[in-house]
Every structure is written in structure tokens, then in C-alpha cells.
Amino acid sequence: MKFNTSLLHGKSTKSYADHSTLPPIAQVSAFGYESAQEQEKVFQHKAFGYAYTRIGNPTLTAFEQRISDIEHATGGVACSSGMAAVTISLLNVLTTGDEIITTSNLYGGTLDLFKDLEKFGIKTNFVSELNPEQLDKYFNEKTKVIFGEVVSNPALQVLDIETVARYAHERSIPLIVDATTVTPYVIRPIDHGADIVVHSSSKYINGSGNSISGIILDGGRFKWDFEKFPALADFKRYGNMAYLVRLKTDLWENFGSCLAPFNAYLNVIGLETMGLRVEQINKNAKALAKALSEIDGVKVSHLSLEDHPYYELCQKQLGGYGGGILTFRVGSKEKAYKTLNALKYVTIASNIGDVRTLAIHPRSTLYIKSSDEEAAAAGVYDDTIRVSVGIEDSEDLIEDFRQAIKQSQN
Ligand SMILES: *Cc1c(COP(=O)(O)O)cnc(C)c1O
């Protein structure tokens, strides 16, 4: 079965109650039982069933299974947001005194999270690119996780998953990746060696910008050393499944990270058209990047442009899919604001992965908490505009940006 067929007819798309073609929405807090004995069995995991939505819900299970299959994972946990997913994917294996290695060009929210974790005694070391040479500078016995974005938002740095996974595994630590910007249509990080995959499913998976959510997927292959990872020691009997079992029955449940059932349902609907959307978005972004790069005084960054530093790796690892995010610089903050304000179709909004094209001035919004150095490391300057390309006709998009930039230059 090829990708788009599997989204609709894969093994986890069937067997809903009453032959429903989509998973029914169990919009409830609790599940009622005929007898106390029956409920006891469910609580002791001796019988299959649901008790309380924070601990499990069939609509969430449906979404988790569908995306697990698509990502070639052994299981997944659906969260209330992408940030909830990033947070507990890390805390599931970390304790005070542990260290993380990551890059300085991550999504702004994740950079903020690493500052929060410092107050809990978890230190993050930042490199400009995840490669063996730079990792060697910080790797030590306290390093427990390497974290990276497959394509960083908005710096568009591509992670060499195979190389970094090999480096991590040789040192008995997992590679956790945020694959939000690429989607499983472009790459399944688990097939390339990543151990844990996180998505902000608010973005390309949902696709219509109608609900916030996240998902954590476990490849199920990492061999946990329970002395090195005391956080997982109580789950030793689950072997390779220890991460997923602890996540599901411990952190996810106790942190109250569950997704609303209705939002899980909306994500399943979104998932079914993901292939079509991502294909169109990639085509549009490539056409727009080329058109913008031909305008005097405009500097464009997109992975489809041959002058991009990660062009080769994008061709090799991502099949040439440059993705839906591009940034361009117009010379000054004033011109950036003028451009944004002159756009006719394009909406000024802070989301990505929507069907509609969105644009934002990231320095004054998403990176407002960052210093100039931190923002620059993430590829964000005073005159940068970030675009999340949608599924409109590319001719209309190109025309809209052309006229807006022209107005800003007057
Ligand atoms: C949006 C985003 C997040 C955070 O997700 P939310 O659903 O907004 O909490 C994390 N990582 C990346 C790469 C994102 O784009």
C-alpha cells in the first residue's frame, strides 16, 4: 500500500463501532461500568477498557494508532499540545543532574522550555549543528538525550538523522526528534534511526489550523540501560517498551497532558488528506521561493534553492522536499512590517501547516524573549519575514507577495 492509500485504508483505519468510517467521538470524562469487579479489572489492566479520559480515551487511541502506523512506530501518546509532547518526551527519561545536547536554532517555544528545565537541574548544551565533531565537545556521562528538529523552524537546518542516531547509539543514549515541519509524508525518522519522534500535530497533521495538539511516537527499538536511566527503572520489566509504558501510565497521565477527544477526531480527518496537502504546499513553496529570490533587495531562505547550505542534505534525506516554511529578508524592520501589512490574501498569523498561507515577523513575536544573538542563531533578524505556505494557487501567492514587497520598497 502506498502512502496516500495507507492514510485511508491502513490496518488501523478499520474496526470502529457500528462500522463507522471515522472513529466515533467519545466526548466524555468517565466510562461507566456494570459492576465494581469489572471496573477493578480495567484499573488493574487485567481487562481492556477505559476509565477516565485523562488516562485513556478511544478517540485518542484511534488517532494514536493511525499515526503510529504511518510513522512505523510501536505506539504513540496524543498530547494537549506540541509543547506538552516535547516536554514529557524529554522528562520521561531525565532526572536532575542530567544533560541534553541540542542545537541553538530550534523552535522558540522549545528553546524557552530548555531554560525552564535548567531550574529543575537539567542542563542543555547548545551546538550550532548536530554533528560528531560538535557533539564531542559536550558529550559526557551526564548526557542522556540528543534532541533535534528534522528541519528546524524557521532556520531550516536539516538534521542528518542517520549520522546523529549512530553517534547517540554508540554512546547508549536515544535520539529524540521533532518532525513537525517535515511530516511522515516526506520522511519517517524512525526508519532512519531516530528513537522517539515528536510532532506538533497542530500543524501539518491537523492541516486546517483548527486545534492545538501534539503526539509522541516510540520506535520501540532502543535498548534502555536502566542504570543509566533511573527514571525508567520501575518499568524495567517492559524492556524496549519501557519508555512508552512509563510515558503512558505515568508522566502523560500525571501531568494531565491528554488531548481533548474532539481534537483527536479533527486530527484524524486532517491526517487523511495530509499527503495531498503536503505535496501542494511543497510545490507552492518552491515556486514562491524562486519568484521571491528574483526580486531585487530580497534574500530568501528555502531548502529548494541551490544556494541553501542544506540543499544537498535535503535532496539526499528528504527527497528534495523543501517544506512549507520559507523566510525572506527585506532590508529593515520597517519594510518587513510594510510588506506584511500590504498582503491581500496572506494572513498575518503565528501558525504553520495551515491550508492557508500565513506570514509573521518572527523577531517581534515568536522570538520576543530571545536576545539578538539567540534570534540570529535561529536565523531570525529584524528584517525577516517567515512564511508558512498554504495550498492556494501559487500564481496568486506570488502576485500577492510581489505587490506587497513593491509597496514596501516605495
Ligand atoms: C509549533 C511547534 C511546536 C509547539 O507546538 P504547539 O502545538 O504549538 O504546542 C514545537 N515544535 C515545532 C517545530 C513547532 O513548529
pLDDT in tens, 12-41: 998 898 999 999 999 999 999 999 999 999
For ligand 1, whether the C-beta of 153 sits within 6 Å is yes
- Which residue has cell 528534495? 320
369 pLDDT tier (thresholds 50, 70, 90)? confident
43 pLDDT tier (thresholds 50, 70, 90)? confident
Peptide bond into 24 cis (omega under 30): no
- Residue 88 CA to ligand 1 centre (angstroms): 14
Q: Which amino acid is at 33?
A: Y
Give percent of the chain with pLDDT exceeding 70: 100
Give the mean model confidence (pLDDT) for residues 159-178. 98
289-336 pLDDT, tens digit each: 999 999 999 999 999 999 999 999 999 999 999 999 999 999 999 999
Number of Cβ within a 10 Å radius of residue 339: 25
- Residue 83 CA to ligand 1 centre (angstroms): 6
For residue 410, pLDDT over 90 is answered with no
For ligand 1, whether the C-beta of 53 sits within 6 Å is no
Which of 85, 84, 120 has the alpha carbon at shortest distance from 100?
A: 120
pTM here is: 0.97
Helix (H) / strand (E) containing 147:
strand 143-149
225-277 pLDDT, tens digit each: 999 999 999 999 999 999 999 999 999 999 999 999 999 999 999 999 999 99
Using CA atoms, how far apart are residues 283 and 140, in angstroms rounded to an integer?
43
For ligand 1, whether the C-beta of 181 sits within 6 Å is yes
- Residue 174 CA to ligand 1 centre (angstroms): 21
Q: Tell which wins on pLDDT, 213 or 17.
A: 213
286 close to 21: Cβ distance less than 8 angstroms: no
- Residue 153 CA to ligand 1 centre (angstroms): 9
User: What's residue 378's pLDDT?
Assistant: 85
For ligand 1, whether the C-beta of 352 sits within 6 Å is yes
For ligand 1, whether the C-beta of 25 sits within 6 Å is no
Mean pLDDT of the chain: 96
Q: Which amino acid is at 128?
A: S
185 pLDDT tier (thresholds 50, 70, 90)? very high
For ligand 1, whether the C-beta of 197 sits within 6 Å is no
303 close to 156: Cβ distance less than 8 angstroms: yes
Using CA atoms, how far apart are residues 86 and 145, in angstroms rounded to an integer?
13
122-147 pLDDT, tens digit each: 999 999 999 999 999 999 999 999 99
108 pLDDT tier (thresholds 50, 70, 90)? confident
Which of 162, 170, 141, 163 has the alpha carbon at shortest distance from 229?
A: 141
Peptide bond into 154 cis (omega under 30): yes
Give the mean model confidence (pLDDT) for residues 399-408. 97
- Residue 78 CA to ligand 1 centre (angstroms): 14
284 close to 391: Cβ distance less than 8 angstroms: yes
- Residue 199 CA to ligand 1 centre (angstroms): 7
DSSP, collapsed to helix, strand or coil, labels residue 358 as: strand
End-to-end CA distance of the chain: 53
User: What's residue 15's pLDDT?
Assistant: 83
- How many C-alpha atoms does 131 have within 13 Å on its Cβ side? 5
Give the mean model confidence (pLDDT) for residues 369-376. 91
